[in-house]
Amino acid sequence: MRFNSAQIQENLEKILGKADNNVLHATIPFHMGYDLGGRADIYCYKNHINGNVYVTGDLIGEKQKNSDAGNYELMICHRTDQEWGPNLISNLSYYTLDASLNSGDTMDIGTFTLPENTITAIIFDKYAVFRVGLKKYGLMLAIGITEDELAWAQKYGGAKLIEKLKEKDIYPITDLKRKSILE
């Protein structure tokens, strides 16, 4: 089956609600390539959670490495309008073409955050999966975690940390200054 972006958008809106008219366009489009500074556009959804959902708009249809979410877009959530999260997932867009990202995987992002922030890493989770024809697509959530949460996930597993984030009502929100759930 040929890639159909209209059907992808319909499915995303079934999951996240209608997209906001505000699209954060990359200065240099994704298709121009990483070396030229290309980044993914970011779509905003404000009707899904009590906060803002940001989703890349250029990854589905690209040749990503295999993932438990299928071919996917990256997603991050914040309580308020933010630039940090959208910038992060836009910058991570090319990484999805080189490395497999699956639920429970973690990534240190210390250089992408400010010293006053407690969030120094992210954990990924398959947030939603849908089909267009026979092809599986998904949303891969990136959620901010603290340094000690990262170490805990590396010891006990990312799936267990995701469970704890849900138990503490933190999931799916990234709050850059939140306290660790392990304190």
pLDDT of 1 reads 42
In a domain? residue 179: no
What string of pLDDT tens digits covers the 183 residues of the chain? 445 678 888 899 999 999 998 888 888 888 888 888 888 999 999 999 999 999 998 788 778 888 999 899 999 999 999 899 999 999 999 899 999 999 999 999 987 888 889 999 999 999 999 888 788 899 999 999 999 999 999 999 999 999 999 999 999 999 999 999 997
In a domain? residue 182: no
User: Under DSSP, is residue 167 helix (H, G, I), strand (E, B) or coil?
Assistant: helix
Question: What residues are paired with 141 via a beta bridge?
Answer: 75, 125
The total number of structural domains in the chain stands at 1
In a domain? residue 54: yes
Nearest to 106 by CA among 39, 67, 159, 32: 159
Q: Can you tell me the distance from the alpha carbon of 57 to that of 149, in angstroms, rounded to the nearest whole number?
A: 29
In a domain? residue 176: no
Q: Could you tell me the residue range of the domain that residue 50 belongs to?
A: 5-167
In a domain? residue 177: no
Q: Can you tell me the distance from the alpha carbon of 1 to that of 132, in angstroms, rounded to the nearest whole number?
A: 9
In a domain? residue 91: yes
In a domain? residue 173: no
pLDDT of 135 reads 85
CB neighbour list of residue 155: distance below 8 Å, 6 or more residues apart: none
Q: What is the pTM of this model?
A: 0.92
In a domain? residue 51: yes
